[in-house]
Amino acid sequence: MTTQFAKEVGLLRTLARNLISKPSPSGPITQDFLRTEGLARVRRQANRLVAILRPGHEAFTALSESIIGQYPAMERGTIFGNFERELLDFLGTTYVGRDPASISAAEVSALHDHFAAWFAKLRLRSRTSIPVPIPHPMRTPPPSALTCRQVRRGVRPPKASS
């Protein structure tokens, strides 16, 4: 097992211990709800929530950065929030309720294959040329449009003016 895969196997095992699935609340998901439930991230899937408990949040961030770092084209061309949503969906589908000891380098390889295919599909959709107005050069992109590279370099979304 390569050193990189060993690190990612450890991160996946930590995430498997800290991934839960629970019924979706009837109301909105608020910061108070997350705090009370001890959740760091959540994603609605059908009528349930897939969530990462607070102890697993650092592993989620490190795994995100590790995957992005291995694909320079993905780092340049992916909106980080979209990547993290896809990663949480994949983890929720694959690792909720799974025994962490059963995770090996084969799962890391499958994870990489999944994201290589995901990004290839994303690139195919983005090759269509659509004429759009060119934004003013002094404006910054909206926070949701920050690329992975910008997030890794510490670019922060502009503060909302009052």
pLDDT in tens, 135-160: 655 555 555 566 666 666 776 666 65
pLDDT tier, 51 (very low <50, low <70, confident <90, very high otherwise): very high
pLDDT tier, 46 (very low <50, low <70, confident <90, very high otherwise): confident
118 touches 87 (CB < 8 A): no
User: What is the average pLDDT score of the chain?
Assistant: 82
pLDDT tier, 102 (very low <50, low <70, confident <90, very high otherwise): very high
Q: Which amino acid is at 1?
A: M
Q: What is the pLDDT of residue 44?
A: 87
| Both structure tokens of 83 | 């990547």
| 25-30 contact pairs (CB < 8 A, 24+) | 25/49
CA-closest candidate to residue 67, choices 20, 121, 109: 109
> Which has the higher per-residue pLDDT, 23 or 161?
23
Q: What is the pLDDT of residue 29?
A: 87
Check pLDDT > 80 for residue 43. Answer: yes
Report pTM. Answer: 0.72
71 touches 116 (CB < 8 A): yes
pLDDT tens track for 72-81? 777 777 788 8
Mean pLDDT of 4-18: 92
Mean pLDDT of 88-117: 92
